[in-house]
């Protein structure tokens, strides 16, 4: 998976880049066909916002989370993306195993 990280009013350090990469690599446990991820890190007043867009085959998954620190927001967005991916996989399996209409 290719990961593109950009910061808006936030400097993207090597530690921050490594943390984002580590958290997004955990998503491949749930779905290994993630093509690329676009991550935007930004700061607004007291909040830190992380916006992630995942590109899957024939699908795109987006999530945005806010936290008091970037690490907290990154962890929250990872949890949200895990939920979205599980939901997507469940729908795929239900459609595949659905009985044909008579």
Give the tens place of pLDDT for each residue, 12-37: 999 999 999 999 999 988 888 999 99
Question: How sure is the predictor about 100, in pLDDT bands with cuts at 50, 70 and 90?
Answer: low
Average pLDDT over residues 44-56: 94
Contact 42, 69 (CB under 8 A): no
Q: Which sequence spans correspond to the domains of the chain?
A: 2-96
Average pLDDT over residues 71-90: 92
H/E stretch holding 82: helix 70-96
- CATH of span 2-96: 3.30.160.100
Task: Show the beta-strand stretches assigned E in the chain.
Answer: 2-8, 36-44, 47-56, 59-67
What's residue 19's pLDDT?
A: 95
pTM listed for this prediction: 0.85
Contact 1, 28 (CB under 8 A): yes
Average pLDDT over residues 45-57: 94
């Amino acid at each position: 998976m290719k990961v593109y990280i950009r910061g808006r009013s936030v400097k993207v350090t090597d530690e921050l880049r490594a943390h984002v990469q580590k958290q997004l690599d955990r998503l491949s446990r749930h779905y290994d066909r993630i093509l690329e991820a676009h991550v935007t890190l930004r700061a607004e007043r007291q909040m830190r916002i992380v916006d992630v867009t995942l590109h899957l085959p024939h699908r795109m998954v987006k999530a945005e989370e806010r936290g008091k620190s970037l690490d907290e927001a990154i962890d929250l967005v990872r949890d949200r993306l895990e939920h979205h991916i599980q939901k997507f996989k469940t729908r795929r399996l239900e459609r595949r195993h659905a009985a044909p209409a008579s």
